[in-house]
Amino acid sequence: MADFDQELDASGLNCPLPILRAKKTLNGMEADQVLHVIATDPGSVKDFDAFSKQTGNELVESKEDGGKFHFMIKKI
Amino acid sequence: MDDKKLAIIATKGSLDWAYPPFILASTAAALGYETQIFFTFYGLQLLKKKLELQVTPLGNPGMPMPMGMDKWFPILGMTLPGMQGMMTGMMKKKMKDKGVASVDELRELCQEADVKLIACQMTVDLFDMDSSEFIDGIEYAGAAAFFEFAGESDICLYI
C-alpha cells in the first residue's frame, strides 16, 4: 500500500459518518498530503468515489481487504 | 464547486424523520454545498436543546418491527402506554449497534459545517415556543426569507 500522511479508522461507522470524518480530517491537512481511510460500511465505496469527484480531492486507491475498505485520498 | 446550494424544508418531528434532513445537509456541506434547513411545524422539534424524539409504528405499515412484534401485537397493542417509548428505545439501540450517528451528533456536525438552521417564526409563535428552548446559533425567519435562498438553490427538498 502506498504511503500516507494521516490515517482515519472509520470502522463500524455508518453513512454519512465516514465521509464527514474524512472531510474533517482533510480540512486539517496540507495540499498533496494523502489520507488513508479504513471503513466497514459497504456503501462507502461508492460514497468515497462520489466524494472525490465532487470535492476535487483525488481518490488514489480504493480497495477491499479482509472485509474492510481502504481509501487513499490525496488532498487537492 | 463551492457555489452549489441545497435548501431543505424539515417538517417532521419524529426520530426516524429527523435523519434525512441532517444526513443530507451534513453530507452536502462536506461536498462543498452552501446549505440551509428551514424548520417548520413539527420539524421545530429537531431544534430543541433537549431532543426528545420518538418513533411510532402507528400509521406506518412500512416500519420493520423487531422480533416479529407485528405478529404478536395487533396494531391496537401499539397504542398501549409505554409502547412508543419501548419502540423508541429499541430503535435507538439498533442505530447505535449499526454505527448510525445520533441526531444530536449529526446536528452538531451540521452546525460545525456552517449549515444554516432556520426556525419558522410563525410556527414558533403558533405553538407558543420560546427561543430559550432551542439550540444556539439558529436564525428565525419566514417564507419570504426561505425563498430568497431556495430560489437560488440547485437542489430543494421538502422533508
Q: Tell me the domains of chain B and their CATH numbers.
A: 5-55+102-158 (3.40.1260.10)
Name residues of chain B where pLDDT drops below 70. 1-2, 67, 70, 73
Residue A53 falls within a domain, yes or no?
Answer: yes
Binning pLDDT at 50, 70 and 90, where does residue A1 land? low
Size of interface A-B (CB pairs under 8 A): 36
| pTM for the whole structure | 0.89
Q: Chain A residues with CB inside 8 Å of B31's CB? A: 51, 54-55
Residue A26 falls within a domain, yes or no?
Answer: yes
User: Which residue has cell 446559533?
Assistant: B137
Active-site residue, A18 included: no
Identity at B8, one-letter amino acid code? I
- The domain total for chain A is 1
Q: Chain B residues with CB inside 8 Å of A12's CB? A: 99
- How many angstroms away from the CA of A14 is the closest CA of chain B? 5
For residue A66, give its domain range.
Answer: 6-74
Q: Chain B residues with CB inside 8 Å of A27's CB? A: none
Residue A22 falls within a domain, yes or no?
Answer: yes
Residue A1 falls within a domain, yes or no?
Answer: no
Distance CA B56, CA B75 (A): 11
Is the distance from CB of A67 to CB of A42 less than 8 angstroms? no
CATH number of residue A32's parent domain = 3.30.110.40
Residue A43 buriedness (CB in 10 A; 0-12 / 13-18 / 19+): middle
- Over A5-41, what HEC string results? CEEEEECCCCCCHHHHHHHHHHHCCCCCCEEEEEECC
Residues 106-135 on B with a CB inside 8 Å of A are: 109, 112-113
pLDDT for B2: 54
Pairing status of strand A68-74 against strand A58-65: antiparallel
CA angle B128, B131, B134 (to 5 degrees): 110
Residue A58 falls within a domain, yes or no?
Answer: yes
